[in-house]
Amino acid sequence: MLSSKSATAPVLNLKPSRYFAIYIALGHALGLLVLFYPTNIPITVRILIAMAILISFIYHWQTREPVKAVRALWDDNLWLLQLKDGSEVKAQLHGEYTVTSWLIVLCFRIADERKKYTVVIFSDSGEADEIRKMRVFLRQL
């Protein structure tokens, strides 16, 4: 039988955020736009910088949201993260986290490895009620 604590543990099923996609696209577009500013930078250097910005955009676009679901467990402050590939890993909330009305940033360290995941949750990343419950839960930690 589930304890009352585990029954109230928040579960947040994430979906791709349009806000996050816009921020990634705009940030890289502004980086490319700066290259058109008249300076004494040779054209070959500008092309190399543009290629680096495009590679950065492709990388960040493909890896922007590695976690599909976040669930708080009550065993030793563990959280269960469901990754994009369907696997689940146990992680601990590591260091500081940010909770605002439109953004939640959680930093996790995988329990068995040294790998870290930063989960960025915008207000459109899931159901409004699930995000509200997660916000309340995190403020009580």
**How confident is the prediction along the chain (141 residues), in pLDDT tens digits per residue?**
334 444 467 888 888 889 999 999 999 999 999 988 888 889 999 999 999 999 999 999 888 777 888 888 766 678 888 888 888 888 888 888 899 999 999 998 887 778 888 888 999 988 999 999 889 888 887
DSSP per residue over 50-94, as a string?
Answer: HHHHHHHHHHHHHTS--EEEEEE-SSTTEEEEEETTS-EEEEEE-
What's the pLDDT score for residue 88?
Answer: 87
Residue 72, pLDDT score: 81
Which pTM was predicted?
0.76
Q: Which helix (H) or strand (E) holds 20?
A: helix 18-34
Rg of the chain over Cα atoms, rounded to whole angstroms, equals 19
Find the helix packing angle between 43-62 and 18-34, rounded to 10°. 170
pLDDT value for 87:
87
